[in-house]
């Protein structure tokens, strides 16, 4: 789901759409950003950033307390839509899931058709936008979904996974944070392709 917490807040208050919204608490609190709208991200705000840092980067940001009950409710709605498309749904978090579409071609069509149908159904049923990555593995599907944001679909066809990943910054791989990235850079590894050549 795209900027899930912010998107849910926008459903409750449509005047927030297109504005730099930061969910997590008041700008002068000691907490961290739970989610940032795409407008806030343009200022460098991102999740897990201290709220005070976010306020410095985006002084006109609209800071909101989170509403966990709302997010859980919408997460359940999202899950219900996903189950319409596959009996194998793995929720990775409140706003991210993996579907196994193996054997669904007769019902849903080829991968891109199935993805477009899911995309439309999600918007219709929840009012929320989602990004979809299609691939033969969870890792590549996750990276493809991130590349497709916001509100897009990206299919990495079988056999093209290495070509897709190679030019990407190594930090695009889930689990590669600041510390690992710094270590990789010390070894001269900046792109996924550099890592693959080891």
SS3 106: helix
Note if 96 is an active site residue: yes
Alpha helices in 127-186 (DSSP H): 138-148, 161-165, 178-186
76 burial class (0-12, 13-18, 19+ CB within 10 angstroms)? exposed
Paired with 33 in beta bridges are none
CB-based contact 39:17 (threshold 8 Å): no
SS3 4: helix
CA angle, corner 166, sides to 198 and 116, nearest 5?
A: 145
d(CA 15, CA 35): 17
Phi, psi for 116 (deg, rounded to 5): -65, -40
Of the candidates 96, 113, 120, 186, the residue annotated as catalytic is 96
d(CA 160, CA 165): 9
The residues assigned a catalytic role are 96
């Amino acid at each position: 789901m795209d900027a899930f917490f912010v998107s849910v807040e926008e459903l409750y208050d449509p005047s927030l759409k297109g504005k730099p919204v930061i969910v997590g608490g008041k700008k002068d609190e000691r907490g961290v950003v739970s989610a940032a709208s795409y407008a806030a991200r343009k200022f460098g705000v991102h999740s897990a950033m201290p709220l005070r840092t976010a306020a410095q980067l985006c002084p006109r940001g609209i800071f909101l307390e989170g509403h966990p009950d709302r997010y859980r409710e919408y997460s359940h709605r999202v899950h219900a839509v996903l189950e319409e498309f596959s009996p194998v749904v793995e929720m990775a978090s409140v706003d991210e899931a993996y579907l196994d579409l193996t054997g669904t071609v007769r019902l849903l069509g080829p991968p891109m058709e199935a993805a477009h149908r899911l995309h439309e159904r999600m918007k219709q049923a929840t009012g929320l936008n989602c990004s979809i990555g299609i691939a033969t593995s969870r890792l590549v599907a996750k990276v493809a979904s991130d590349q497709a944001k916001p509100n897009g679909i990206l299919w990495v066809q079988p056999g093209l996974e290495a070509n897709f990943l190679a030019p990407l910054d190594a930090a695009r791989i889930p689990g590669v944070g600041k510390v690992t990235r710094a270590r990789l850079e010390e070894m001269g590894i900046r792109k996924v392709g550099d890592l693959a050549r080891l």
